[in-house]
Every structure is written in C-alpha cells, then in structure tokens.
Amino acid sequence: TAGDPTLRRVMLKISGEALMGDQGYGLHPPTVERIAREVQSVHEMGVEICMVIGGGNIFRGLQGSAQGMERTTADYMGMLATVMNALAMQGAMESLGIHTRVISAIPMDQVCEPYIRRRAVRHLEKKRVVIFAAGTGNPYFTTDTAATLRASEMSCEAIFKGTKVDGVYDRDPMKYPDARRYDRITYDEVLQKHLKVMDASAIALARENGLPIIVFSLDAPGGFRSILAGEGTYTRVE
Ligand code: UDP
C-alpha cells in the first residue's frame, strides 16, 4: 500500500512557504515548531528521516531574474534562503531533543556541514535527522529536484511531499469543490496532465529511480505519522 508501515528511510520535502504560517513572507516560529513536532512523531517510530526545505518564503530565483537580476545570482540567493530555513528547522528539532544535522550542497563550514554522501548516510544510521540545504548546489534547479536527488543517493524508499492539500487533484481543489483526488497516479500522467506535484525534472528523476512520491497534507495534525502507519489520505505517484 502507499502508506507502507515498513518504510525505514524516507525523504520529507516541504516548500519554504510551509514555514511562513499565515504571514506573507519569512519564517513563523510556531509553524516551524509545529512541523518539527510532526517530524518528531515519525522519528519516534524509528523511521530514518531526510528533509529538504525550499526557500520560496524568502527568495525565488525566477522572481529575482524577473526583476532584472542575473538568473544564476538570483538562484544562488534562493539556495542561501534554503539554508536559513534549514537552520530554523534544525533549531526547532533540537529543542525537541532530536539530533539534527544540516548538510549544505554549498560548503559553508562555520554554519553547517558540507555534503559528503557517506557522512550523511552515517548520520541517518545513527538516527539523526538530516536536512539537506542549498538545493543541488546548482542554479536552474529546484529543491524538488534536490529532494529527489538526495532521496536517491540516500536510498530512501519514498519521497513524502507535504502540501496544503491531501493529495493530487485533477483540478485545483481550492478553486473547484468538485475536484477529484487521485489515490494513485503514474509519473507519466502527472507529466502529461501538467499536474502540480513537483517540477518535471524532479518527476522524471523519480521515475528513472523508481522512487514513489507520496503527496499528503502537512496541515492535518498527525498526518505524516498516520500515513507512515498505513492510514490517512494521500496520493501515491509511482
Ligand atoms: N535553487 C537553485 N538550485 C537548486 C535548488 C534551489 O537554484 O538546486 C534556487 C532557485 O532559485 C529556487 C530557490 O532556490 O527558486 C528556492 O527553491 P524552491 O523554489 O525550490 O523553493 P520552494 O518553492 O520549495 O519553497
């Protein structure tokens, strides 16, 4: 089943906007703490957890380049935004008593660890939560692709994409009350129908590596844990 209680290692991808609460920008500490508790409840089940957090609550490369900034510069600024979010989440996790490491694709040794695959694996084996920051380290990519890449490198069994809604719908469920949720859908259908799950390069990479994507609501309290326990509603992209 989609919520497979036997999952041992997973990737949780959340957008930067998930951390801003009802504000239009930046970080909302109570929201960061709430999400940290959701992660804690899964960590308590003994599941090894990788995380990737976007940066859209602070800065998006495309936005910067639309305002005349050079695209690559703007993308590096976006990657730096993800480091800020990762540090905020690390702080919230550690105040709950969970050992958490931030690992950056762009080395900044005074701030966090550089990405070294084998070291990241070792942290996971020791049940530390690992937050992968600075995306892939390359402009023109997104944190969705970074999540898929790191999930593949870390041999995660699935990517959990936390969103505002409990799965993938045929139309925007916020606008159309009769929108239908898919229980399961293929990578190809997501691409053909241009459904907003993750960007196309992330979907293609997940397909290449046979990594299922579980789209679920991060707003529902206990949602992450219940899906790992084999319950709840979600969409499985496979
Ligand atoms: N980014 C990048 N390369 C990466 C990941 C991210 O250049 O590998 C930049 C890009 O400018 C992007 C920004 O970082 O707009 C924030 O990431 P993203 O848009 O994926 O964040 P989210 O929408 O998930 O909050």
Cβ of 162 less than 6 Å from ligand 1: no
The answer to whether residues 50 and 124 touch, using CB atoms and an 8 Å cutoff, is: yes
Output the CATH code of domain 9-237: 3.40.1160.10
Q: Give the position, in ligand 1's atom list, of the atom nearest the Cα of 105.
A: 8
Q: Which residues of the chain have pLDDT under 50?
A: 1-2
d(CA 103, CA 141): 18
pTM of the model: 0.96
Cβ of 115 less than 6 Å from ligand 1: no
pLDDT per position as a tens digit, 121-165: 999 999 999 999 999 999 999 999 999 999 999 999 999 999 999
Pairing of strands 9-14, 158-163: parallel
Residue in this structure with the two tokens 């229980």, named with its chain if needed: 183
Confirm whether residue 161 is marked as ligand binding: no
Per-domain boundaries in the chain:
9-237
User: How far, in Å, is the centroid of ligand 1 from the Cα of 187?
Assistant: 21
Collapsed DSSP state (helix, strand, coil) of residue 112? coil
Pocket test for ligand 1, best of 143, 164, 198, 199 (most atoms within 8 A of CB): 143
Cβ of 212 less than 6 Å from ligand 1: no
When the pLDDT of each residue in the chain is averaged and rounded to a whole number, the result is 96
